[in-house]
Every structure is written in C-alpha cells, then in structure tokens.
Chains A and B, each alone.
Chain A
Amino acid sequence: MNKTFEHTEGYTRITQWMQSRGNTPFGFQENTWKKYTHGYSGMVIAPTGFGKTFSIFLAVLIDFMNQPEQHKNGLKLLWITPLRSLAKDLARAMQEAIDEIGLDWIVEVRNGDTDAKMKQRQSRSMPDVLLVTPESLHLLLAQKGRATFFKNLTCIAVDEWHELLGTKRGVMVELALAYLKSQYNQLRVWGITATIGNLDQAIDVLLPTEKKRAKIVAREKKRIEIIPVYPDEVEVLPWAGHLGSKLADKVAPIILASKSTIVFTNTRNQSEMWYQLLLEAHPDFAGQLALHHSSIAGPIRQWIEDALSEGKLKAVVSTSSLDLGVDFKPVDTVIQIGSSKGVARFMQRAGRSGHSPFEVSKIYFVPTHSLELIEVSALKEAVKTQTIEAREPMVLTFDVLVQFLVTIALGGGFKPEDMLPIIKSTFAFSEINEEEWQWCIVFITQGGSIGRNYEDFHKVAQQKDGLMVVEKRRIAMLHRMNIGVIVSEAMMRVKFISGGYVGMVEEYFISKLKKGDKFVLSGRILELVTVKEMTVQVRSASGRAITPSWLGGRLPLSSNLSHFLRQKLALSTHPGTTEKELRFLHPLVARQNEHSHIPSTDEFLVEYIQTREGYHLFMYPFEGRLVHEVMSALIAYRISCLFPISFSMAMNDYGFELFSDSEIKLTEAELKDILSRDNLMQDVVSSINSTEMAKRKFRDIAVISGMVIQNMYGKQQNNKSLQSSSGIIFQVLEEHDPHNLLLRQAYTEVFNQQLEEQRLVAVFDRIHQSRIIFKFATGFTPLSFPIKVDSLRQSLSSEDLAARIAKLQERTLYKGKSEKEKRK
C-alpha cells in the first residue's frame, strides 16, 4: 500500500457518502477503519447513538472497495447481536447504506423469526452480510453444510458485547468464534461494547488468542441529566412502595409535558401497579398509555414497540423488557421508578431518551420511599466518575460445552483430539482439565462412566475414522430444538374463556391460585376459571386481586452503587452539603441520628429494637437483597450457636432484620464475633440449604445440557413421554450419579452467583475494618422501618397492610413525641 489510507478509494467513497448525509466520521470510527485495514481484530468502546455500528460495518466495506480481489462471493461479514428485534432495523440501515454507496451487497437476517423458505435459500447461497443471534449461529454450525457457509468470511462482529459477557450466551459466542477461527484463520473478530468496569477483561474474553488486537475508545461522551421527583414532604418513617401512589400525581404532568415517555420499573408487579396508578391520576391517558413487560403477549408487545416508534403513544410503563433494542426516536423523556439497582442499568435506561449524539439524556428518578433519594445523589456521583459495574465472565460452564459438542457433532462431526485445543483456546474453558474433558466426551457418547448402566444410550457415536457424529434423526431433531441457553420459566398462556389471548404467566404463580381467585395481568383484573394443560382460562372480573410476583423479579443492588450509597448516607449528616436531595432528607436523617445513628463510611451500624411484638436486630451492610439474604441466614445461625433461639428474617437492599419473640441477648464482644470474617464460608454452608439452592440452579443446567427437554408451546405434544422436571433429574443424579459434573456445576454456580462468595468476603473484610456501632431503640428508626414493612408485606394482603403500617407509624411517632415531652 503506497497510498495513505485517507487517499484510498474506499475511504474517499465512504466519507463522501457520509458528507452527502451531512455527517463527518468520528475519530473512533476512522481509527477502527484504519486498524481493520491493517488486519487487526479489536474492540470498539463507544456510547449509544454515536454510530458504533458504522465503525465496523464501514470498515469492512472500505476494505472491500480497496481490494475487491481479496473478497470472494458469499458471506463476508457475520454480525452477531444479542437481540432479534435489533437485527431487523440494523439490517435495513446497512442495506440502505450499501445501496447509497453503490455496492451490490445483500444484507439479510437469520434468527428465530426468519421463515423456513428464506433459511433454505440462505443455506444454498449466503448473503454478503448476515445478522444472527448466538443461537442462530449455533444452529448454522449444526448444519451439514456449515463448511460452505463460512468459507469466504472475512469478519465477525459481535454487537453489544457487554450484554453477552457474563452470561452463558457469551460463552456460546466464545465457543463459536473459537471453532470458526480454527477453520478459517484469516478471520478478523471485532466487538462493540458500552463502557463497563472490566473493559480489558472483556477484550480478553472475546479475543483470547488474537495477536493483532486494537482497543478503540470513543472520546465522545453521552451527557446524562438526573432529575429527582420530590414528594411534598419527607416521611421520617419511609416505607417502600407507598410513596409511589402519592407521586403519580407528580409523574403525570411530566408525561403530559413530554412528547413520548418510557416509565421504567424494576418488576412486572410494579409496572402493573404504576399502569393503574397513572390511569387513575390522569384518566385521559386511556388509549395513549401502554404496558410492556415480558409476560405481555409477543404480538401486543410488538404493536406497542411500533406505536412507540411512530410516536402514537404518550407513555409506556415497562420493565427491563425495553432496556435494550431499537431506538424509539419520539421518546424524549425517561422516568425511573424506584432504585435502578445498578449504575450501568441506570445509564442504559437514561440513554433511551435523547438519541442524537450530542443531545442530553434526561431521566427523572421517582423514589418509592424517601430514603431512595440518597440513591439519586449516589447515582450522580457514579455517573460523574464513570464508575460502572464489571461483568464477570462465566467459566467452565459444562452445560454449554456439552451442548456445543453435540452441535458440532451434528453438523459434520469432530475429532476429540482436534477439538480439545479449540475449546482450550477460549477464555471460558482455558482451565479445563483432562478429566473434565473426558467426562464431557463420555457424557455425550456413553451417558455415564458405568457403561452397563447406560444401555441404549447413543447420543453421539464415534465412527471408525474417529469422527464423532450424531446418527439418529430423532436425537438430531431434539437437539436442534434445544439449542440455546435461555431457559424460560414454565409459562402458561392466559386466555379468556370466551376466546382471546391475554398474556403469559409463570406456572409457579398459577400453582398457588385456586378457582375463583382474582389476579392482575396486562393491566386487567381476571378471575381464574380452569387450568387445562398449559392454558389458564379466565374471565374478566373486578375488585381486589393479587398481582403476580414473578420469580426473579427482584434485582440485587450492585456493589458499585452500594459503595456510593454508604458514602452519601454518611455525608447526609453534614448540614453544609450542597446536594439538594440530601438536604431534602434532612428531617429523616436528623431523626435517625437522634434515635440511633447515621453510620459514617468506616462504621457498621447494628440496631437492637424492642417493640410490643418482640425483639428486632437490624444490620445495615447496604449490599443488596441477595447478599443480605445470605448474611441474615449466617448471622441467625451464628447467634443460634451461642444460645438456642429462632428467628424470622426480612431484608431490603439496605439492610436486614432478625426478629424473635424472645430476647436476643448480645454483648458487644459477642456481636463482634458474630460479624467476624473467620470461618465465613463454612458457616455460610451450615446456615443455608445449599442442596435446595443448587437444585434451583440446576434448572437451567438441565435444559442447556439436554437432560430436560424444554416445554415449547405447540411442540410439547410430540415429546410428552420425555417430560420430566429438572428437580426430579437433580434428585436422581444426587442419588445415582453424585460425581456428575453438571451437578457439581450447579453447586459452583450457587457459590459464585447466589452466595457471591467474593463479594461476601469483601463485605466481612469491610466490617472487620469498621467500628461496630451497637444502638438500642424502643421504636423503629427511619432506616429500620422500610425493612420491617417489607416483611409485613409478605404475610399480609395489601389492604390490611396499609392499615397496619399506618398504625405502626402512628405508634412510633407518638412514642417519639411522648418521650420528648417527658424530657421537657
């Protein structure tokens, strides 16, 4: 190349094309183009809305125009995106660009929505650019013709890598890349990611073996403005959820003043509630307000998304179901209800408004209880310092590996000795040992190590030449249906008895209902009539109803956010603070300080509160609900080692409560022991039911590894005789095959994800270095009250709850007053 890059034909044509649309390339885009031309693989890190896609996509086009002789017919660019909904619009934009630039390339999509005819045509002759999901890529690898699909491929792009990293879908991508690179060593691999806490590791995972590797960080930043919505007055005894209804009147005007709004909630339960609240607050919203969550029927969701794109809706109340996906251009306002639980999620949601590169993303924060206002100030700090969560990559996920091995066996076979180095070249399996590898091979060929016990089992067979292949058609069919790692909860269709489809709901929820019970779904009140197979028949109803609390609805607080929370809480006592949110909270903070204490960052607060009901021990690690669940069980266990006592436990993201009707006699020295970091994990294991937890983790593993055939609607009849639940398989394996690697993986996942071992150790290290403040009180404090309320909520119906809480509030406040009067 004797011409400088800026004078090449490709560069000139691309920049001219951009100019014709009134654009000039960003610095990071030009960098990417250059690096790509020089044969690099790499990672582009840029905020949404700045043309990340065009950095890599145009790089491939430039390279092609500069040296067309190097490119042959067929698939040249494979584009992996985590979302189906993203693919369609992306393909349209790419095709448009290609047409305008004047090339004859064809861009197509291939995923679960693509019709069979199209797929067949693609298998015969691939387009130049193909957009796939990780699942549809694996399905391509499971096809006999795979060798012809990819032979002229020059680049694989992995979009939204931050969404895939840390998930089993990410591991699927790692495996597919490793396999393709081993077959076609000219491949360049490029990732696109938003900023995350562990960028360098993210690059190592995607590009573990590349020698020429570029990291391109956009200098452009997205500006975010956070606007808290204040209640009229601060409640000194806050409780979660209650404030929401009061604030609906303040949210409605924000929606009215905007063109189009997305209201983000954290759970489906909350979204159903807010949908009703907003309709009550402003009845004219009827017809312009929609509800979007993953239990709403697919076609309805699609309709809502289209309507949102076309600006036909005033507002949509949604859960994380709208976090990702296509940009909704008309949306100019985002409202977050309650804690976003993490910095990355908050920024992502904020980014749903103000799309064009230099527009400011505006997000309103609506606290569900006044304490959450501290979070506003914590989030501002985190956004300012760009302290974003890390995404821990998953390793040694054997369920994904055995699935992948069958996939490769299906699409033409593999030889184990060739395969092992490929597997080992991935980040996820770099540590796999010989024994584990052998186990995986035995698992797919013989079923288990005791041969006679696995008679008739032939999933993958070894041919005379050593090639591992799938021979039986039925096994091939079952496997193809099962490819993927997204395991859905067993879902049931909800239909009106008169006909008409309402939505989907977890079987778990329905199993708790009886005939005649009423529940809320898709913003409607429904009465359960009968349950037939996987369909719930309902009729319209009115009156009191239960809102399904969907499993997994509650996200844990990220450790980044909790760090800033503790910091801001400690700051809140200083009267000179400049932060408006904290000043607003002053009455609450003052009361906490007067009756108990506001912990500074090097203190750990424990409150012992005696009330008419009994004895309450409150602790405030500010580490999120998941960690608190484990901690409360651990502390309860350690106390019960000192003297016999039984507790009930409650927790929120800030702290947890141990409640007992007998006295919890603890000296400060004993308390220190209880909070000790010695024997931590041993005590944790003694305090929880790890088998039960592993059983839950095994649910996904069983499906991914093919031990359980997923119950797919419409196809379930064919496989009825193969129905079983992961719980049964788990028990069978525990009893008959305890050394099963998949079983061990379930326990490992419990320790890494559920118990968050590393984080737990860090928490106890921090407590160890903190001063422990042990306070006694005779009424609930502002910090303890929301936890107490949360525990009441789980045992009482909602109407009783409001009355009960009012009483509690009254009693505590009254007591506070009378004590003050006494003092006077």
Chain B
Amino acid sequence: MKLSEHLISFAGQDLLLTNQRAVYWPQEHALVLSDLHLGKAAHFRKNGIPLPTTVSEQDLFRLQNLVLHYTPQQVIIVGDLMHAGANTEVALLRDLTTQFPNTRFILIKGNHDRHSLQQLQGWGIFAFFDELQLSPIRFSHHPRHNGHPTISGHIHPGIRIQMPHKRYARLPCYVVTKDQLILPAFSLFTGLDTRSISDNAVYYAIYGDRVFEVSP
C-alpha cells in the first residue's frame, strides 16, 4: 500500500488528507474515514451476485495498514460501517479491532447502520453516536449546512476530470468548504456521485498514489 498525504487547514486544525480515502488528524490522534460498507460483497452474494470475499478483505487490509502506520488513539468512522445485515464478512471486523486494543473504534450512525450498540460492541466498536463533537469539529454522517465545521460522508463524492480527446475520468475526492469536509467512501467497492458538486468548494481528487487539488 502506497501512502501519500496532503496537508490542509480546516476549522483551524491541520488535517492530512491521504490517498487511501481517510484523513489523519494529528492533534487528536484520530484517523477519520467514512462509508466502509463492510459486508457489501457478501450481501450481494446472498442475493445471487457472485463477488469474491477478497473485495471486502482488501478494504480491511487497507484499514489495518493505516492503523499500523499512524497508530491512532481513535478511529472515527463517519457512518455506513456496515452495508446490510450481519454476515461472514462483517465478522472479519472483530479480527481487526482485537489487533489494536489501544485504539478506540468510534462509529457515527449512518443510514446503513441498523445495529444495536451491543451488537457493535461485539465487533469491537467502542462507542456509537448520532453525532459527535470533538474540539472545534463536529462529525455527522450526513453533511449539515448550519455554519458549524463538520466532517461528514454519505455522498461518496467524486469529480469528473477532463482528459485529452474529450474523455473524462471520474475520481473519488474530498470536498472542502469553509465549514464542510466531505469524505470519499473508504470502500473501493462503492460508486461515485459526481452530481452533488457545488462551485464554491475545493476538491482534492485521488488518483493512484496521489492526492491533488482540482477546481471544478
């Protein structure tokens, strides 16, 4: 796994946007990511769409490497940890969390998260919130536009970038405004929404091992 970082300032805080679709916040020793959609491939298989387990394993492997690299005190998952019900792939999360007893895994409730705290604790989730306020930053699954600095997910933001010969490439991106930071979906097995893009934001697109600023 190649890791690269792009430093930005948001709500007066230094944040590292990584090419691995996760943000590291040094002051709080926090790794922040969203939309892991764990168990999605298994959910598809149950419904007759054959996708190998390796799809989900790859996401957890990337998460594991990030935790090893930053050794954060907390991992904040800004919603949609699980894609659907509990299944064999979701159980793999337990293997990951037990490896890092000194890291607290915190979940902000997303629209896909329909499990009880008790169930979540079984998988090694330390805490479960609707929203969370940490220093000046609020965490919420859905983007909120109330002037309060918020980190959110949900949208799976992407951006179309024009290539030579009128071709377009669609890349996952971070969307940053004065008071909003919308995270790309952490899982590689997710689509992109390139429509909900507004003009007054700065975009940081991810392509291979790079993160770079794009103006739409």
Residues of A within 8 A of B (CB): 443, 446-448, 450, 452-459, 472, 474-475, 478-479, 510-511, 514, 531, 648-649, 692, 706-709, 721-725, 727-729, 731-732, 736-737, 794
Contacts and interface: CB of A to CB of B under 8 A. Distances in A.
Interface residues of B, number: 31
Given A456-B87, A725-B191, A794-B166, A736 B52 contact: yes
B191 A728 contact: yes
A457 B46 contact: yes
A454 B189 contact: no
Nearest to A727: B191
Q: Which residue among B44, B48, B167, B199 has the maximum number of chain A CB atoms within 10 Å of its CB?
A: B48
A630 B48 CA distance: 37
A505 to B, nearest CB: 14
Contacts of B88: 455-456
Given A456-B87, A724-B44, A732-B189, A531 B195 contact: yes
B51 A729 contact: yes
5 contacts: A706-B49, A721-B112, A732-B52, A732-B189, A737-B52
Given A456-B42, A457-B45, A736 B54 contact: yes
Contact of A459 (B48, B188, B189): B48
Contacts of B200: none
Contacts of B43: 721-722
B53 interface: yes
Contacts of A456: 42, 45-46, 87-88
A479 B53 contact: no
Nearest to B37: A721
Nearest to B193: A511
B16 interface: no
A511 B189 contact: no
Contacts of B164: 648
A459 B51 contact: no
A129 to B, nearest CB: 35
Contacts of B49: 706-709, 722
A382 B68 CA distance: 71
A454 B48 contact: no
Nearest to A450: B52
Nearest to B190: A728
Contact of A453 (B44, B54, B167): B54
**Nearest 9 interchain pairs by C-beta:** A447-B50, A459-B48, A453-B52, A457-B45, A475-B48, A453-B53, A456-B45, A736-B54, A736-B52
Q: Which residue among B44, B87, B190 has the maximum number of chain A CB atoms within 10 Å of its CB?
A: B44
A708 B49 CA distance: 8
Contacts of B160: 511
B45 A478 contact: no
A729 to B, nearest CB: 7
Given A450-B52, A453-B52, A724 B191 contact: yes
Given A456-B45, A474-B47, A721-B83, A728 B54 contact: no
Contacts of B50: 443, 446-448, 454, 457, 459, 707
A448 B52 contact: yes
Given A721-B43, A728-B190, A728-B191, A478 B54 contact: no
Contacts of B54: 453, 736
